[in-house]
Amino acid sequence: MYLKALFIMTPITFSKQIDYKTYMRLALRISFNSWTLRIIYIICFVAILISLTYSEIPTNAAIFLVMLCVGIMFIVPLRAYGLAANRYKSSPHAGEKSFWEIDENGIEIKSSVSVTQIKWNMVIRITSTKHWIFIWYSNSQYSYLPKNTITSDELREIKKMFFSNKKLRESANN
> pLDDT, tens digit, for every residue of 118-159?
898 889 988 888 888 988 888 878 888 888 888 888 888 888
Q: What is the pLDDT of residues 51-106, one digit of tens each?
A: 888 878 788 888 898 999 999 989 988 998 998 899 888 876 778 888 999 988 88
d(CA 73, CA 41): 7
* pTM greater than 0.95: no
What is the distance between the terminal CA atoms of the chain, rounded to a whole angstrom? 14
Report CA-CA distances (Å) from 97 to 17, 81, 89: 4, 23, 15
Q: Indicate if the pLDDT at residue 42 is higher than 90.
A: yes
In the prediction, which pLDDT does 7 show? 59
Q: Indicate if the pLDDT at residue 5 is higher than 80.
A: no
Average pLDDT over residues 16-24: 88
In the prediction, which pLDDT does 171 show? 62
Q: What is the pLDDT of residues 77-86, one digit of tens each?
A: 899 899 889 9
In the prediction, which pLDDT does 164 show? 80
CA angle 115, 116, 118 (to 5 degrees): 150
Burial of 145 (C-beta count, 10 Å sphere; 0-12/13-18/19+)? buried
In the prediction, which pLDDT does 67 show? 92
12-17+96-173 classified as CATH 2.30.29.30: yes
- Mean pLDDT score of the chain: 84
- The residue ranges of DSSP E strands in the chain, in sequence order, are 12-16, 98-103, 106-110, 115-119, 125-128, 132-136, 142-146
Q: Indicate if the pLDDT at residue 8 is higher than 80.
A: no
